[in-house]
Amino acid sequence: MKKRNVLLKICSLILTISYFSGIFTATSAYAQEDILTITQNAGYQTDEVYKPKASIVIEAQTGQVLWEDNPDLKWNPASIAKLMSVYLVFEAIDQGKFTLDTTIKATDSDQAISQIYELSNNSIVSGVDYPVKDLLYATLVQSSNVATVMLANLVTANDEAKFIHMMNDKAKELGMTNSTFYNCSGAETGSFNGYYKPEGIDQNADNVTTARDLAILSYHLLKNYPDTVSYTSPTQITIMENTPYAEVLENHNYSLPGLAYGYEGADGLKTGSSPTGGFNYAATAKREDTRLIEIVLGVGNWEDQEGELQRHAFGNAIFDRAFATYEYKKLLSKGNNTVNQEEIILDQDFYGVIQRNTEPAFKLAADNVTMDTGLAQVSPMIKAPSVSFKYAKKLKALQNATLLKNGSKKNGLSTFFVNGLLIILGLLFAALSKLLKKEPAVTGSTKRFSTLLIIGILLILVGIGLSVYTVLVGPWI
């Protein structure tokens, strides 16, 4: 019998160890799975030579990080830098400096830049007026360097260096702690053949940023200027329509629905490539209430143009992982709720990011509801979701106290009214007693107080007495 019990205990121990070993092995395998493995498992043909140098995925409403790999590696973003220039253009429009319909008359320098073969451009003709709206399409769809320069010059009245300083100041303001800009378009200043030359700025320097910083920029761009996606989502668009200068622009974001790597819900943002930066990708996609932002940097190298397509494979794969794992949704409704066994009242609906098929873990602190997701914020300047609340019991007690206070105040006013009425009636009775007073029939007879006078005096005394009581003790009714 003892042997049997010992054997049972040994078997149980072996099973327990095996179980936890299996969990540990599975967890370790999951932890070691990298972006290359994820992309290959998603069915894309790729290999180590194209593996991105850095990547990140964040949720667009909360700024919470859902995936990251070397997010703080400093890198040349190439044309993704145009997103900062576009941010400053939208900001200037928001400030009333110009509108989408404002036109910019192209200069000889603008035309010359548009003809530089090595640069991505659209056609520009000197002397022609180009609307801001069309130049935004040219910048974000065609990745036109000349359109970006024209917009930057509009913002600063042709002060090229000032615009670069504005880019760097805005980066600091937004919390982009590892970014430095030397040009407005992503192309080295020296490649503009002298037609674009910000004074005092290094002509041969590349812009420097990180996946995290570009995610922060994209977060603020979509939050503050959500119409951005209307300029980044067209796969093809014609600008300068109904003029001799009409031009069809093609989008290089092949993850847009209908293109080679079409991804459901994708509607932006920007691609970028250069000899020193390889192939880069800033993207956003929305499914139901969940919008994600991702940055993929350093796919392949400039000599192998296959990297232009491969960046979309990696981007689509980590989008799939994030959408399958997380969702943004309403977690609590405005009004009465029970959280952590406490009855609370929310000022508004509470939305947040949560792992699918899990229950949220809420925290109540400092009159705010927050959620413990285990997810980091992409920037300390972007706070995690929270909603103010009141404890239902405290609110009810406060309401009762207010009601009692208001009731006491009301009763006090009523009491003083009655007290005053008694005094007035007493005075009235006294006056009537004098008015109705009769002279004595016999000379020398004793004067007597009339009944009305006695009643009046009593009413006055009672009124005065009750008023004193009300002041010293409180309402008597």
Residues known to be catalytic:
79, 82, 143
Grouping H, G, I as helix, E, B as strand and the rest as coil, residue 337 is strand
The DSSP-derived string for 392-461 is: HHHHHHHHHHHHHHHHHHHHHHHHHHHHHHHHHHHHHHHHHHHHT----SSTTPPP---HHHHHHHHHHH
- CA-closest candidate to residue 237, choices 246, 256, 227, 250: 250
- As a whole number of Å, the end-to-end CA separation of the chain is 85
- CA-closest candidate to residue 159, choices 128, 121, 200: 200
Whole-angstrom distance, CA of residue 377 vs CA of residue 198 = 35
Residue 180 buriedness (CB in 10 A; 0-12 / 13-18 / 19+): middle
Residue recorded with tokens 């503050």:
224
Quick check: bond before 466 cis, omega within 30?
no
Give bridge partners of residue 294 from the DSSP assignment. 57, 283
Whole-angstrom distance, CA of residue 60 vs CA of residue 54 = 19
Handedness of CA 293, 295, 300, 301 (dihedral sign): positive
Kindly state the greatest CA–CA separation across the chain: 139
Whole-angstrom distance, CA of residue 477 vs CA of residue 467 = 12
Q: Are 113 and 153 in contact (CB under 8 A)?
A: no
**What does residue 237 show for φ and ψ, rounded to 5 degrees?**
-155, 150
